[in-house]
Amino acid sequence: MEEEHRDLQKKNEELASLVKWYEERFRLSQHRQYGQSSEKSEGQGLQLLLFDEAENTSEPKRAEPEVEEITYRRRKRESSSVSRDNFDELPVERVECTIPEEERICPECGGPMHVMNCNTRGELVVVPAKVFIREYARDIYSCRRCERENTKVGIVKAPIPEPVIKGSAASASAIANIMIQKYAMGVPLYRQESSWLNEGLCLSRQTMSNWLIKSASDWLLPLYEEMRTKMLKEDILHADGYSGYGKLDSAIRRCGCWAHARRKFHEGTMSIPAVERKN
């Protein structure tokens, strides 16, 4: 009977501990979803008293130092918000708005008029992408004398830029535009296909996909391999690659981040009932 009682008591303690754990997880989940994102503590009760320098060095009877009030003027700091419009670096196209010289007649007396002032206003102009075919006309030269006197005629071809993809109409600018739209702006190929179709250009997503794969294999992959080779020759590499942590040598000493450690302390306090936090 006593053994059965002890078993029930032990099981009850385990269940109580499990319920408490679930309550802490629930409170922490509620705080993450609905609570404040700030990690500011709710008073002295949550502060970890790791240092007591202020208490040990305080002198309550010591007179306060005299305060000298100094006033000065400073220039107001401009807002550094990225949303602030700034067109200072853009090129300016000036449009002259004038009156023909023969029409510069004073409406009051009929005398000639001159320019006394000039008002300006600016507007942001967007020029859509310009698409065209660049055709390379390659001259081929031969020798007139050889044509008349020799059986073998010398032929020289003018130099011509090599294509990005042999046998393809793709240019570097076209491929770069597709890459930027897809990977930087998040525009999928089917939407790019529709956008080009609205501009009168029929360029299928299959063609664009082939261009991306081929150009990445021919031009970007060798660049990546060269960069990787040079990086691996360095003694120290600074990286934030979590996938590589598990592959490190066990003899390497790992140092944790204090900012992340502090966050876990804060989450631990949030899992405690509000009444118990202040004790």
Which tens digits make up the pLDDT trace of 15-72?
988 888 888 888 878 777 776 666 565 554 444 444 455 555 555 565 555 656 666 6
Residue the block writes with tokens 């002259």: 96
Q: Identify the residue with better confidence: 9 or 246.
A: 9
Contact 265, 48 (CB under 8 A): yes
Burial of 44 per CB tally in 10 Å (0-12, 13-18, 19+): exposed
pLDDT tens readout for residues 167-197: 999 999 999 999 999 999 999 999 999 999 9
276 pLDDT exceeds 60? Answer: yes
Question: Using an 8 Å Cβ cutoff, are 185 and 178 in contact?
Answer: no
Spatial separation of the C-alpha atoms in residues 147 and 155, rounded to whole Å = 10
CA gap 89, 82 in Å, rounded: 15
Q: Which residue has the higher pLDDT, 5 or 268?
A: 5
Q: Which pLDDT tens digit goes with each residue over 201-257? A: 999 999 999 999 999 999 999 999 999 999 999 988 787 777 777 777 776 776 777
According to the model, what pLDDT value does residue 26 have?
A: 84
Residues 28 and 274: beta-carbon distance below 8 Å: no
CA 16 to chain centroid? 48
Which amino acid makes up residue 252? I
Q: Where are the beta strands (DSSP E) in 145-190?
A: 155-157
Residues belonging to the chain:
279
Q: What is the pLDDT of residue 81?
A: 52
CB 203 within 8 A of CB 196: yes
pLDDT of residue 87: 85
Q: Among residues 115, 117, 123, 157, which one has the least CA distance to residue 139?
A: 157
* Interval 78-105 mean pLDDT: 82
Please identify which residue in the block is written with the tokens 């010398």: 154
Q: At 128, is the pLDDT very low, low, confident or very high (cuts 50, 70, 90)?
A: confident
List the helix and strand counts (H, then E) for the chain.
9, 2
The pTM of the whole model exceeds 0.85: no
